[in-house]
Amino acid sequence: MMSYFAGSLVIILCLISCALSAAVTLPFKSPTSTIFKGDILQKRPSLLKPDGRPLGTAGVLLYTYSNGTPYILLSRESDGTDKGTYSEFGGNLDLKADGTPETFQDACIRECDEESARLYKLTAEELSKGKIYFETTPKGREIVLCLVETKRVYQSSDLRAAQKLLEDSHFKEKDALLWIKAADLLKGKGIDPESKTLITLRPFFRELLQKPEFRKLIEELSDYQKIAA
C-alpha cells in the first residue's frame, strides 16, 4: 500500500513539475507578455560575431493616436545600399564603452536616440510599456523590435533642424520622417510626401511585415482604436 501511494506521489510531483515548467516558458510564446518583455529587454544575444560584438538587432517603432486612429512613425535612410527606403529606428547591437555587449534595451534606446537626432530619447520605463516582437533567425541572429507609444509628433523639418546641431554622423543616418496610418502600412499604401509616390520599405522591415506575429502587434493598435471608440 505504501509503495502504491509513494508511486502515485511521484507521478503527481512529476505532473506538477511539468505544469510549472510550461508556465515558465509560456510567456516567451507571447510577444505581449509582461514577463516576456522584462526578460527579453534585459537579455543579451546568445551568440557573438568573430569580432566579439553581439549577433543581434534591436529597433523601435513609435506610434501615436490622432482622433483615435493609430499612426506609425517611419524614417528614411539617407545613405548606403538602402538609401531612400523607410523603416523603424534600429540597427545591430554593439559593445558598450566598457567592452561588454549591449542588452536589447541598451540598443533600442541608443538606436532611437541616434537615428532621431535625439528627438526621441526613450527611457527604460517607456520601453517596458511597449509591445515586443522577438525572433531568432535560422542563423542564430536574435531580433527585438519594440512598439512604443509617444505623444510627441515630430516631422522631417524637426529632424533636419536637430541634425544641424549635431556633428556625429550617427545622428544623420536618416533624412526624413513619415507618420503613416497603421492600416495603410499593413496594406503597403504609404505615400512619400516629397516624391508623391508609394514609399519603398527597407528590405529588413518589409520582411518583418510579412511575419504574422509582427503584423498582429500592429493590428492590435487598430483594435485598441475600436475599443476606445
Closest-CA residue to 96 (of 52, 60, 140, 133): 52
Reply yes or no on whether the pLDDT at 229 is more than 80.
no
**In terms of domains, do 6 and 108 share one?**
no
- Higher-confidence position of 35 and 42: 42
**In terms of domains, do 37 and 18 share one?**
no
Q: Are 35 and 134 in contact (CB under 8 A)?
A: no
**In terms of domains, do 220 and 158 share one?**
yes
**In terms of domains, do 7 and 101 share one?**
no
Q: pLDDT of 104-152, one tens digit each?
A: 999 999 999 999 999 999 999 999 999 999 999 999 999 999 999 999 9
**In terms of domains, do 146 and 101 share one?**
yes
Reply yes or no on whether the pLDDT at 55 is more than 90.
yes
**In terms of domains, do 108 and 15 share one?**
no
Provide the pLDDT for residue 17: 44
Closest-CA residue to 181 (of 78, 74, 22): 74
136: left (phi over 0), alpha (psi -120 to 50) or beta: beta
- Higher-confidence position of 15 and 141: 141
Opening angle at CA 220, ends 139 and 189, nearest 5: 80
CA distance 45 to 56: 6
- Residue 69 maps to which CATH number? 3.90.79.10
Q: pLDDT of 84-93, one tens digit each?
A: 999 999 999 9
**In terms of domains, do 77 and 18 share one?**
no
**In terms of domains, do 39 and 110 share one?**
yes
**In terms of domains, do 1 and 110 share one?**
no
Q: pLDDT of 155-184, one tens digit each?
A: 999 999 999 999 999 999 999 999 999 999
**Other Cβ atoms within 10 Å of 157 Cβ, number:** 10
Closest-CA residue to 202 (of 78, 62, 92): 78
**In terms of domains, do 26 and 114 share one?**
no
Write out the three cell numbers for 196. 508623391
Q: Which domain holds residue 62?
A: 31-228
Number of folded domains that form the chain: 2
Provide the pLDDT for residue 224: 58
**In terms of domains, do 24 and 63 share one?**
no
**In terms of domains, do 80 and 191 share one?**
yes
